[in-house]
Structure 1
């Protein structure tokens, strides 16, 4: 395991240049360039806000702002977009890069590192846009924004662990690549992003609370919407331990399966 991280450090220049090249290729002939990374999620937020704000804005106590629902939406989408992007990229990473894995000799750990790095850069642009939106709407979080550091660490470890496990499985069972996007769509609606959990029936609230993303997205709301620290209770600490365990498990499976993946691709 430590050998993977040692190789990753040795090839850090390759990882950084690959991330930069990915963005340069993606926006080579685009007039707006990297702005599209911000436009797409904010457009989705605007659509939900336009359709649902009049229905749900009154259900958000504790926010003294007429744009309360839009603020609630952008806070939740910030965390959700990073999770889904990392999982989706890891899901098809090895099948998309099969020819590269067969023809070149390089540490395979650099592939998920590039995927995670590009996802974080994407989210950094979105984060800057969200901060501008919150400041414009008069709801900038101030010092509580520092709580996002451990929340991002938790979110990334969970996403990488889940993404690597599904990504390896997708090499051997291609149906996994079809099932996971459907699962992510269901997970979106079972995560309180476009609705506060109190507006749904109590029996459904218990189901939503079983979602591992529930405490993370709720913590994003606490920090960015209500300007308070996350609730680091027993369930949150358990989630930290489970996310770290999933990350280690994903790396272990990836390391053990790497030779067989090359043969199957």
Structure 2
């Protein structure tokens, strides 16, 4: 009973002001957790973490082979035999990081229930572990994407320097939404089952396998409510069209990331005493 009380007391008292200090104190634990995640992938697999690259690239190859015949000549502003594959790869690259963060966030507290209940430690350790694993996976995928772009004759130019900002915004949106749903998932376990279904619909409501301009005006109005549209199109601007993201899109994404992270923090602080018991 004492560990449970200690865990609850710690969760209640920990505030934003000591998050960075706690992260530094537990840096060895965070680094070890990230390393153990990759070791677990390599334990019984000869390809290991390479599967994190092959899976999205296989998805790109399938869609490119099936849909390029119908869409390659219709994508606005794109020409060339491999234009659709390049456009699709950029969208999948952005989508993969968002999905990774969201799905990990939804199950974060349930997956670490025993740790949360038995040990008093800063919650930021779990968050930074998720962030670290996701960013390393995304970096490996980015290297593969750049190599593929080069093979297809589409080397990225200086506009790719916008990517760190876009990745940070993607990180804030995916992690913020994932943590919000992760807290709710502790009390309503159906959320963990609903999220993959919603993601499938969201994928097709996001301009990844088609250009937003190709949609009828009514459909464009509908997808305008999808917060991922400016995120995906910003990635495509930088990686495909060699132009800077739209300032309004960056502003919208920044405000959305801040809002989601703030709501997640507030919800977690209010629900943390009950979470320990619910887990």
Deviation at 1:198, TM superposition (A): 2.3
Identify which range, 44-53 or 28-37, moves more after superposition. 28-37
Aligned mate of 1:201, from 216, 219, 223: 216
Aligned to 1:219: 234
Match of 1:157, SS state, is helix
Deviation at 1:201, TM superposition (A): 1.6
Conserved in 2, the CA contact under 8 Å of 1:108 and 1:258? no
Aligned mate of 1:158, from 162, 173, 187: 173
Q: How many residues align?
A: 264
Aligned to 2:125: 110
Aligned to 1:17: 32
Counterpart-to-counterpart distance in 1, 2:245 and 2:239: 10
Match of 1:198, SS state, is helix
Aligned to 2:18: 3
Aligned to 1:74: 89
Match of 1:141, SS state, is coil
Counterpart-to-counterpart distance in 2, 1:150 and 1:259: 35
Aligned to 1:87: 102
Deviation at 1:207, TM superposition (A): 1.1
1:89-238 maps to which residues of 2 (within 5 A)? 89-233=104-248, 235-238=249-252
Where does the alignment leave 5 or more consecutive residues of structure 2 unmatched? 1-15
Aligned to 2:260: 246
Conserved in 2, the CA contact under 8 Å of 1:219 and 1:231? yes
Deviation at 1:29, TM superposition (A): 2.4
Deviation at 1:13, TM superposition (A): 1.7
Identify which range, 130-139 or 3-12, moves more after superposition. 3-12
Deviation at 1:101, TM superposition (A): 1.1
Counterpart-to-counterpart distance in 2, 1:52 and 1:105: 51
TM-score (norm 2): 0.91
Deviation at 1:236, TM superposition (A): 3.5
Counterpart-to-counterpart distance in 2, 1:4 and 1:251: 12
Large movers: runs of 4+ above 6 Å = none
Aligned to 1:261: 275
Rg: which structure is higher?
Answer: 2
Deviation at 1:256, TM superposition (A): 3.2
Deviations 1:168-194 (A, max 9, x none): 000011111112221111111110001
Counterpart-to-counterpart distance in 1, 2:244 and 2:127: 31
TM-score (norm 1): 0.96
Conserved in 1, the CA contact under 8 Å of 2:231 and 2:253? no
Where does the alignment leave 5 or more consecutive residues of structure 1 unmatched? none
Identify which range, 87-96 or 62-71, moves more after superposition. 62-71
Deviation at 1:9, TM superposition (A): 2.2
CA RMSD across the alignment: 1.3
